[in-house]
Structure 1
Amino acid sequence: MSRQPVVIIGSGLAGYTVAREFRKLDAETSIQIISADHGGFYSKPMLSNALATGKTPLSILNANAEKMAEQLKMTIRSHSRVTAIDPSSKSVTLPEGEKLPYSQLILALGADPIRLPLQGDGVDAILSVNDLDDYHQLCTALRGKKDVTILGAGLIGCEFANDLAVAGYRVRVIDISARPLGRLLPQAGGTFMQHRLEAIGITFHLGTATQCVERIHESLRLTLDNGEIIQTDVLLSAIGLRPRIALAEAAGIKVNRGIVVSRSLQTRYADIYALGDCAEVEGRVLPFVMPIMHAARGLAATLARTPTLVRYPAMPVVVKTPACATVVSPPDPDARGEWRIEESENGVKALFQSADGKLLGYALLGTATREKNLLATQLPAVME
């Protein structure tokens, strides 16, 4: 009796990497990817530093759905959404009520941009970039414009700010935090990052929040909670992502911040798994490339009937801000220790150490990034 297909919902890095790794281990089992968009494969992290190098949406696309289906010998159903999951019958429901059976189901649903509850008739003009179609919309909106404002001074906000400034736009960044990358960097690191980005023309409005966005002819007028008024051509929101959990929750799958899974990436149902931006692995949501790659390799082995626990080594994050080279390996939120800072004109070396001197995390900026490889070997694994 032939095996029912392995069904993957989502065609981002997580979904495609699982398919690719599984195909290395099993050349015969049918794989079906269900994609809400075009289903093509591309590097999503590239979207936040593509404008300065003139990359078009088409040039970012590595392969369309047809080519990916041919390469991996699988079926890709693009522009199709799963409307329901039925764990009891091991099937998913597609538009028009079609039922698709699965032997194993992988949820690689990704995450949605968080939207601020703002007032004003210009709210619907706020852009966010979470996929290639969004990037195309941003490129279209930027034509003939010069002034861009970004909501959010986190990792993605700073990456877009750097990219837009180098591409020749006047860039402002608004954030309620006192400094950029407030969740990733200690104070000295955030200050250093701010100064380096200001040096290429970026203006920061920190310790304040946007309250209202209004349309003024072809521009947008922002009112901040400190009373300041800003007029801008394009408004980009980059304040974070929220895992997509609604589909799983409706199917009775346990959710918290993300879809709750074990170290084998298994949900409470034996044949349903989740990974990537939508998954919460033993309390951790890890929306970065390296965790996805490690998770996909482990899950592929499990799907090929070699049960495998996912192990995450130390996984430093490279922030794509050329004006301020930055590598961060944030300590575990529950880690006990303190930051030890070394500052110079050209860099900041911040080590988060326990009371007995054990390295638990670091933030390296500027010339201090030269030490990233040496320090990475001293870091504990995220998950053994």
Structure 2
Amino acid sequence: MKPITIIGSGLAGYTLAKEFRKLDKTTPLLIITGDDGGFYSKPMLSNAFALGKQPQQLQSQTVEQMAAQLNAHILTRTMVSSINTVTQTVRTNMGEFEYAQLVLALGAQAIRLPIAGNAADQVLSVNNLADYKIFRDRLTQAGDKVNVTILGAGLIGCEFSDDLASAGHTVTLVDPNALPLAALAPVAISQGLQTALTEKGIQLKLGTTASQIYRRDQALHVTLSNGESFVTDVILSAVGLRADTRLAQAAQLHTGRGIIVDEYGQTSASKVYALGDCAQYTLDDGSQNTMPYVAPLMAAARSIALSLSGQPTRIEMKLAAVLVKTPSYPVALIAPAAHVSPSGTWESENSAGVTTSRFFDEDRIMRGFAVAPHSAKSRTTLISELTEAQTTSLASLA
């Protein structure tokens, strides 16, 4: 009997496997992964200092434990070279394997910036647990209190900055935008975050980028595009991730910013699905977007598991706030869809030290929000407002 095959053992791949096993205990399950197959939660990497966790403590289960829990055959350190959707086979460095149905949980690749200098290759990125261990080892080698430069003041860059500063390290945060979290948050929230990070001792160098990195006298010298230079011990790139579409493109699946899937999570090829950071989902309004967050991943895993078990089920993307793990100024937000944001506006208010921003489209329909510092109550209230607004909008179109 051909197995259900999952490529990838990150949060997406393993969550799907767990959901499938709730429905089907016996169908063969094959998981192919390029790493050691241990289970950890990737979102925990950017606040491990706050959690008091060493890299080895972030892995909660070994591959042997996962294989037993899932009644699955897990191939570790195995690289997939190609997928043949006609013969329903996957070719790897460990041989060729047939599949009954295939799920791509390929994740995303860290974006690498073109930076000049003889130490440009010293820039680290953290996209998995192995990367994080290298980063922590580099911090340890540099000493107790390390000068860390982070390139990118988006969600991950801000989270790492706050976490590292809490651990006593000196942090410099560099970003081409005028404010941190500029791509996701409204100005009022970004300004609040900037103030909080600055008060924590983090140096923000905004409106500029790193243009050169040289090693001299055992130190890293960073030159910014505005001409400013400084010395640092460790450099971390957090400029963003790009959905890994390489295998999908080679297999001639439809791709955009990610692997394009329909409302069931199925790709352009029969019996092939995708979810997680690599997927470009089709939403209720017909738009398509990548959604590199935990809540969409969980929703897709539940629905795709049902579809794999013979119960075709549409992915229902319930509204869920993105929680930015910056304890100095915790932010919760649901950003407006990309096709809505150009024609809308943010409106913000401050009450009792809490900034609340709502995004309205050109028809005055609420399409997003941000709140900081957030609470469970404030999130619930705003999600209810947004749900009601979108329900009313969809009803008017019916």
Q: TM-score, normalised by structure 2?
A: 0.92
**Hey, what does 2:268 align to over in structure 1?**
268
Aligned amino acid, residue 74 of structure 2: I
Deviation at 1:370, TM superposition (A): 4.7
Deviant stretches of 4+, over 3 Å: 354-358, 367-370
Match of 2:317 among 312, 322, 343: 312
Q: Secondary structure at the match of 1:83?
A: strand
Q: 1: distance between equivalents of 2:379 and 2:218?
A: 46
Match of 2:126 in 1: 129
1:247-277: CA deviation from partner (whole Å, max 9, x where unpaired):
1111111111111111111111111111100
Q: Does 1:289 align with 2:294?
A: yes
* Counterpart residue number, 1:359: 366
Quick check: 1:108–1:278 contact (8 Å CA) kept in 2?
yes
Question: How many angstroms does 1:376 deviate by?
Answer: 0.9
Deviations 1:268-318 (A, max 9, x none): 111111110001112210000000000000000000010111110112101
Q: Deviations over 1:138-194 (max 9, x none)?
A: 110001151000000000000000000000000000000000000111111111100
Where does 1:38-49 land on structure 2 (aligned, <5 Å)? 38-49=36-47
* Mapping of residues 24-103 of structure 1, within 5 Å: 24-95=22-93, 98-103=95-100
2-structure distance, mates of 1:224, 1:293: 40
Q: CA deviation at 1:232?
A: 0.4
| TM-score (norm: length of structure 1) | 0.96
The equivalent of 1:241 in structure 2 is 241
- Cα distance 1:54–1:218, how it changes in 2: closer, same or farther (>3 A)? farther
Distance 1:204 1:344, change over 3 A: farther
Aligned mates of 1:271, 1:20 — CA distance in 2: 19
Shift of 1:120: 0.7
- Report the Cα distance in structure 1 between the residues aligned to 2:7 and 2:361, rounded to whole angstroms: 41
> Partner letter of residue 59 of structure 1?
Q
How far apart, in 2, do the equivalents of 1:25 and 1:215 lie?
A: 55
Show CA shifts across 1:31-51 (max 9, x none).
Answer: 011010011111100000002
Using a 3 Å threshold, how does the CA distance of structure 1 residues 344 and 147 change in structure 2: closer, same or farther? farther
Counterpart for residue 190 of structure 1: 190
- The more displaced of 177-186 and 346-355 is 346-355
Structure 1 letter corresponding to 2:381? L
Q: In the aligned structure 2, how far is the partner of 1:242 from the partner of 1:331?
A: 20
Distance 1:7 1:339 in 2: 44
Q: Measure the CA separation in 2 of the matches of 1:343 and 1:48.
A: 28
1:340: which partner in 2? 347
Higher mean Cα deviation, 31-40 or 52-61? 52-61
SS of the residue 2:339 aligns to = coil
Instruction: Give the secondary structure class of the aligned counterpart of 2:34.
Output: coil
Amino acid at match of 2:312: P
1:108-165 deviation digits (Å, cap 9, x = unpaired):
0000110001111111111111111011101100011510000000000000000000
| Count of residues in correspondence between the two structures | 380
Letter of the 1:19 partner, please give it: A
The structure where helix makes up a greater share of residues is: 2
* Structure 1 partner of 2:329: 324
Could you tell me how far 1:367 is from its partner in structure 2?
5.8
Between 117-126 and 370-379, the greater mean CA deviation after superposition:
370-379
1:300 — aligned with what?
Answer: 305
Letter matched to residue 27 of structure 1: K
2:18 equivalent to 1:20:
yes
Q: Does 1:110 align with 2:117?
A: no
SS in 1 for 2:247: helix
1:150–1:171 CA contact under 8 A, matched in 2: yes
Q: Distance in 1 between matches of 2:248 and 2:364?
A: 43
Counterpart of 2:111, as a letter, is: I
Residues 58-90 of structure 1: per-residue CA shift (max 9 Å, x gap): 111110100000011111111111111111110
Range 363-372 or range 332-341, more displaced: 363-372
Percent of pairs with identical residues: 43
Which of 126, 133, 142 lines up with 2:139 in the alignment?
142
With over 3 angstroms needed to count, the CA separation of the structure-2 counterparts of 1:252 and 1:173, relative to structure 1, is same
* Contact 2:3–2:101 (8 Å) recurs in 1: yes
> Structure 1: how far apart are the matches of 2:377 and 2:346?
19
| RMSD (CA atoms) | 1.6
> Which deviates further from its counterpart, 70-79 or 209-218?
209-218
Q: Is the partner of 2:22 in helix, strand or coil?
A: helix
Tell me whether 210-219 or 278-287 shows the greater mean CA deviation: 210-219
Segment drifting more, 277-286 vs 357-366: 357-366
Shift of 1:356: 5.6
1:346/1:367 contact within 8 Å kept: no
Q: Distance in 2 between matches of 1:375 and 1:186?
A: 15
